A and B are shown apart, each in its own frame.
Chain A
Amino acid sequence: MAENRARPISPHLSIWKWGAHMTTSIFHRATGDGMAVVGAIVLVWWLTAAATGEEAYAYFLSWAHHWIGKVFLVGLTWAFFQHLASGLRHLVLDIGAGYELATNRFWARGTFVFGVVATAATWSYLLFVKG
């Protein structure tokens, strides 16, 4: 297909003054696409290991208990809660609400607070309550 290279293109990242909504948007894509790869592989590994047998499952668990595995699991938990919060924000924006500057900034920042707090609460429960 022939591309029209003379076509004007939209000004990109460099000319805009930074705003919280930009960071939230980038993190929404990064956490979503990150989970699509890392999260899907971990989920499929966990399910197929459980379906295969005790030995395969023990191998999965040995990685899940290893500190490297923990870094991945905590990272995935955070990516999930961050993407959940920014995703809910997107659904609100999609119905045409929340574009006032102060409101928009508040919820853009709020997604990060939710992501970190929900991740900390989940792993505190797993490590200190459940043991």
Chain B
Amino acid sequence: MGNGTGLGRVRGLGSAKQGGSHWVMHRMTAVSNLLLMLWLVFSLLRIPTYDFETVRLWLEQPLVAVPMMLLVISVFWHFRMGLQVLIEDYVHEDGLKFASLAALNLYTFGMGALALFAIVKIALTGTHS
């Protein structure tokens, strides 16, 4: 190993040549999940009811729609990494592992796109259009 900084010595290492970046991003998204999910839980507890009109009026506000989109990105990114580790830990056959990881990507990006599109649609069309 070289005699550079600690970070320089681990960058690009490991069987996937990613160094510690997967591990670090899992923690980074854990912190953003913590903030965004606490915001969501307390917001949901504070809105008066959960009927269509109330939820739409709440979601179409810019300061709700934007954190909601950030939440989808952060949470989906985090759970994609968690499910990837689960697959890598328990699926050992190469072909099945590849198929599982491909399915995971389709699931995460498909569901993420649906969620983001729904938020944008609500925010840009409004209830009284």
Residues of B in contact, count (CB < 8 Å): 30
Contact indicator A44/B86 (Cβ below 8 Å): no
Determine the main DSSP class of B at the interface with A.
helix
Bound complex: CA A58 to CA B51 (Å): 8
Chain A residues within an 8 Å CB radius of B41: 80, 122
How many residues of chain A have a CB within 8 Å of chain B?
Answer: 30
Given contacts A1-B94, A33-B86, A94-B27, contact A51 B118 (CB under 8 A): yes
| Chain A neighbourhood of B122, CB < 8 A | 47, 50-51
Select the residue from B52, B76, B117, B119 with max chain A CB neighbours within 10 A: B52
Residues of A near B111 (CB, < 8 A) are: 40-41, 44
By DSSP majority rule, is chain A's interface helix, strand, loop, or mixed?
A: helix
Decide if B115 touches A32 in the complex (CB within 8 Å).
Answer: no
Asked whether A44 and B114 contact (CB < 8 A) given A1-B94, A36-B79, A57-B55, the answer is yes
The answer to whether A29 has its CB under 8 Å from any CB of chain B is: yes
Of the candidates A47, A80, A94, A130, which one forms a contact with B115 in the assembled complex, judged by CB atoms under 8 Å apart?
A47
User: Please, which residues of chain B bring their CB within 8 A of the CB of A29?
Assistant: 82, 86
What chain B residues lie within 8 Å of A126 (beta carbons)? 45
A54 and B79 form a contact (CB under 8 A): no
Write 11 A-B pairs (CB below 8 A) sorted by A numbering. Answer: A29-B86, A32-B82, A33-B83, A47-B114, A47-B122, A48-B114, A50-B52, A50-B56, A51-B118, A87-B34, A91-B31
